Structure 1
Amino acid sequence: MAEPTEPARPILFASYPDSGLLNPLLVLAGELARRGVPGLVFATDEHRRADVADLSAASEVEFLSLGEEVAGLSPTGWDDETYRAVMNETSRIRSLQAFLRQSQDPHAMVAKYQVLERAVERTRPALMVLDAFCGYAVDLALTKGIPFVLSVPFLASNMVSAAGLGGRSFTPRGFPTPRSGLPLRMNLRQRVTNQLFRLRTMATFASPAMLRRMRYEDAVWAEIGVTRSIRNPMDKLERAELALCYSIADLDYPFTVPDWLRLTGPMIPPLPQAPPDPGLTAWLDAHESIVYQAFGTLMRFSRDEVEALVEVARRLDGRHHVLWKLPAGQQHLLPPRDTLPPNLRVESWLPSQLDVLAHPHVRLFFNHAGSNSFHEGLFFGKPQVMWPLFVDCYDIAVRVEDHGIGLRLNRTDTVEPDDATDKLTRVLADPSYRERAERMAALMSAAGGRHAAADLLLELPVLEGSGQGTRMS
């Protein structure tokens, strides 16, 4: 392990506030703080201040507020119409098109950019470590010529595969198009679908409405002197000093990973992550086979879906217990408490999802195929049943089945109690799912996680005062 290197100037982290993007960077910054690396600054929206404050250890992590959360910049702020369009369960391409068309107010992004720009001018960072999807932060690093590292919490192939025909790609010809949910081995119909998916993705970007929106965005940015000349995400990746991807090659389909993309496995903080809840801990200890189900921060349940999931728990009674993390704002959809099955425990908040997944009595993780949930569950060797939510979730779900570490529901638009009960029961009864999940867990642990990511950062020449960094070989 590399010795901590004292940078001449700060390391500045920046991220959108969404948990899926922010949390891995919090773990990385926390690891550097425990090592005593000085000059750590973390920029994100105001409501995540406490999360950053908790990182300070042997060295401090300074919080830099980028202001209040702006509705529309984050999926959690989508209105119901946008949410329904993006969560189009009947068509993956229409779901993706709605996601791509989702308009982010360029004036709001410019305001965030300007706050971050002032912080950069004040701190003069030696390196920026950026959420790969925080476009305004990446644009700032490129405009100011500041070396930067990108944080990628998704499957590596989703970042380095061409979304359209003829685009630059590091995956082989015929590879599943990102966000298509197609397998590696395709039949004729699937191969045609794969090509059409790429064509329709390209057509979305070439549509008159999208071109007008991009011209408008360019004009807004030009008013503050920022030329957004790099729109291709691949160009941004290749101009980074390094891209840290929190997955492993064994979870993806085979392709040659470029040397600047380093797969470290998931970013797991030291455990236990939080002081235990005595009541919850006693419940976990008391039951030998528990299904933990959680469907991310974006899910907006219908009453029928909630009732279907309650029915699934009821059918598992006598064999398995179910712990369901259901946000408080959606618990009004539950049937009366006195009618819930005795094996179901519903919690609106958990001290730590990771601590729950680490418990030996949790036998299976039922989730939405979100990238962080998927990787975190597997880190603890838990087989999975997946109800994919949207966009990249379909890609993860198909890999879960192909690698034999779980199953996915037949339908994405709803939960059918017969199907869900069948999938959960099959995975729980067949030890091969657990054995393969545990093999993946061992590979993830060997990848190094937060330790490997921190070492890679601290070994960059830019932190040794030698000018622009070089790529790791």
Structure 2
Amino acid sequence: MGTGPERRCFTILLVFLGFLIRHRSSAEKVLLVPPPIYDSHWMALSKIGRALVDKGHTVVVVITEDIGETRRTEWPDFQFETFQDQGTQARLNEDLDYTVSIAGEESLKQFIESFMAESEGLKQYCSLLLADSNLVDRLRTSQFNVVISDPFFPCGAILSAHLDIRVPHIAVMRVDPYLLDEKAAGLPLPLSYVPFPGTDFTDEMTFVQRLQNVVSSILGHMIGHWVASSMYDELVRTYIGEDETIQSVTSRTDVWLYQTDNVLDFARPSMPNMVQVGGLNVQMVNPLTEDMEAFVPSAGRDGVIVVSFGSMVKTMSADRREVFAAAFARLRQKVVWRYVGEKPTGLGNNTKLLAWLPQNDLLAHPKTRAFITHAGSNGMYEALYHGVPMVCLPLFGDQPANAARVVARGLGVRLDFSTVTAEQLYQAILHVVTNSSYLETATRLSRLHRDQPQSPMERAVWWIEYVIKHGRLPHLRARAVELPWYQYYLLDVAVFLFGVCSAVLGTLWYSCSFFCRKICCKSGGKLKSQ
């Protein structure tokens, strides 16, 4: 066997090889199906994918061929399967840019038209994806252990069932725009304190707000389900089965990973397969770049204000950018503003414009005093994690509801993006920065949010690996998913009980009437004989 040192080297080599083999055997294949638009949605999925790669798994992403090269450069750890979308994604992005440009000013009619146009574009993208037989064959050959998608793009659930009905499906989301998740998970929805996602109500509603909440929920569910059915039921029947619908396919989802946290979001009923992972986008803090490291400390005791309206807001109108620039110029703090476009004429010397900024790293910096945001989910949770008060100017989607939660928790204030004046914005920032209650609340909620047995990302990865290990999880799905509506609401029981009560009361009434008539007849006979 050789000398002692040789035996030790041989033993170490065997242990190392055993580790590699064991690590290799635990590596599974994961398929990500991201929406073709909304970078924030891709951001959440990609970070989950990166965490899975770090655990030794193989992550494959389905994207259009037009952005394949860019994605491969940005994410070299992922594998990509591409298809020709015939320019659908580019058109979707153009429509999205227009929607963002009129956010806050569009009418209800324009909103519905935009939603329908966006859904139609997503359906076309999905149709081209599913129709690519070469792509589907390659994906089937890969034999994935789990498919992860965002319900904003229901095609992920359809593709999962199309590849193999036995492959588990996991949804990652903040909110389902089609509202299919509530029925799919069998989730009870007490509208007395659960605000409809399309409103900015809190869990404390007045009578009028509860009335509006009920009406909004009924109409919202009807419209959402109708749009989803009209767009995707035909695809489901074509690729899954004649008896299937988008609702039935979505209901096969094994685990729902919600980007929520009760520290910020309002408590509501949940199901065993619904897991909160709010804040999974928060990363390790990296040192600032040399340029930023020179700018931020120069703010002194006054500190820094971080401004970002997300990746979708690429430019601002001349009126809006001058309003913001004028308000920032009056501040004693330094301002770091993520901004792309023509430089505002009223830009102050205290304001630094950047096409991209290290948002998480800046929010973690001790000199950061406030975060001016559109109340997008990712930025909101980064600010929560680092304990930074917020000034919210929501634009569309779930952002008004997110801003309502920030205000309700005492984390900041809310303004109207399209109508706010420079004076109003300046006073709001001053109020948040100088009023110590906002910082105290942000610090307290940050401690609550951080104090968890697992980080949100660790929890998400644990559940994904749990699904990979055990496959489909029917024991976590509520039976409510399979019940017809009249059974779910106990209408059959109510009708039966009503029938029994009616029969008993009817019998009692008839009996009393019968005895009364008999008694009256006997009394009448006696009187006549007398």
Q: Which residue of 2 aligns with 1:152?
A: 173
1:202-221 matched pairs, under 5 angstroms: 204=223, 215=230, 218-219=233-234
What is the CA RMSD across the aligned residues, in angstroms?
Answer: 3.5
Which residue of 280, 298, 308 corresponds with 1:286? Answer: 298
- Given the alignment of the two structures, is residue 62 of structure 1 paired with residue 110 of structure 2, yes or no? no
Alignment deviations for residues 199-230 of structure 1 (CA, whole Å, 9 cap, x no partner): 54356469xxx77x965764566556665943
Which residue of 267, 278, 285 corresponds with 1:265? Answer: 278
**Preserved CA contact (<8 Å) 1:24 1:153:** no
Structure 1 residue 125, shift from structure 2 partner: 0.3
Which residue of 74, 78, 97 corresponds with 2:112? Answer: 97
Which residue of 234, 245, 269 corresponds with 1:256? Answer: 269
Structure 1 residue 378, shift from structure 2 partner: 1.4
Counterpart-to-counterpart distance in 1, 2:189 and 2:376: 22
Q: Which residue of 2 aligns with 1:414?
A: 419
Letter in 2 for 1:303: A
Structure 1 residue 132, shift from structure 2 partner: 2.5
Task: Number of aligned residue pairs: give it.
Answer: 441
Q: Which residue of 2 aligns with 1:367?
A: 373
- Given the alignment of the two structures, is residue 10 of structure 1 paired with residue 29 of structure 2, yes or no? yes
Structure 1 residue 83, shift from structure 2 partner: 5.0
Counterpart-to-counterpart distance in 2, 1:173 and 1:201: 13
**Preserved CA contact (<8 Å) 2:60 2:81:** yes
1:189-208 matched pairs, under 5 angstroms: 189-201=208-220, 204=223
- Where 2:42 maps in the other structure, the secondary structure is helix
- Where 1:107 maps in the other structure, the secondary structure is helix
- Given the alignment of the two structures, is residue 29 of structure 1 paired with residue 79 of structure 2, yes or no? no
Structure 1 residue 193, shift from structure 2 partner: 2.6
**Preserved CA contact (<8 Å) 2:360 2:382:** yes
Structure 1 residue 71, shift from structure 2 partner: 4.5
Alignment deviations for residues 172-191 of structure 1 (CA, whole Å, 9 cap, x no partner): 23222111112222223323
- Given the alignment of the two structures, is residue 135 of structure 1 paired with residue 139 of structure 2, yes or no? no
Q: Which residue of 2 aligns with 1:112?
A: 129
**Preserved CA contact (<8 Å) 1:6 1:38:** no
Counterpart-to-counterpart distance in 2, 1:49 and 1:276: 28
- Where 1:249 maps in the other structure, the secondary structure is coil
Judged with a 3 Å threshold, the aligned counterparts in structure 2 of structure 1 residues 237 and 215 are, in CA distance, closer, same or farther, namely closer
Instruction: Work out which structure has the larger RCO, using CA pairs closer than 8 Å and 6 or more positions apart in sequence.
Output: 1
Q: Which moved more, 1:439-448 or 1:417-426?
A: 439-448
Counterpart-to-counterpart distance in 2, 1:358 and 1:382: 8
Letter in 2 for 1:313: F
User: What is the identity percentage for the equivalent residue pairs of Structure 1 and Structure 2?
Assistant: 20
Alignment deviations for residues 114-160 of structure 1 (CA, whole Å, 9 cap, x no partner): 4552342121101111123221121111233121111114599x886
Higher helix share: 2
Letter in 1 for 2:265: D
- Where 1:239 maps in the other structure, the secondary structure is coil
- Where 1:253 maps in the other structure, the secondary structure is coil
**Preserved CA contact (<8 Å) 2:375 2:392:** yes
Judged with a 3 Å threshold, the aligned counterparts in structure 2 of structure 1 residues 440 and 132 are, in CA distance, closer, same or farther, namely farther
Which residue of 379, 390, 393 corresponds with 1:387? Answer: 393
Which residue of 354, 374, 387 corresponds with 2:360? Answer: 354
- Where 2:246 maps in the other structure, the secondary structure is coil
Which residue of 244, 247, 257 corresponds with 1:244? Answer: 257
> Higher Cα Rg: structure 1 or 2?
2
Which residue of 444, 450, 455 corresponds with 1:448? Answer: 455
Alignment deviations for residues 297-321 of structure 1 (CA, whole Å, 9 cap, x no partner): 23352110000000110221xx211
Counterpart-to-counterpart distance in 1, 2:385 and 2:249: 29
Judged with a 3 Å threshold, the aligned counterparts in structure 2 of structure 1 residues 160 and 407 are, in CA distance, closer, same or farther, namely farther
Q: TM-score, normalised by structure 2?
A: 0.73
Judged with a 3 Å threshold, the aligned counterparts in structure 2 of structure 1 residues 398 and 272 are, in CA distance, closer, same or farther, namely closer
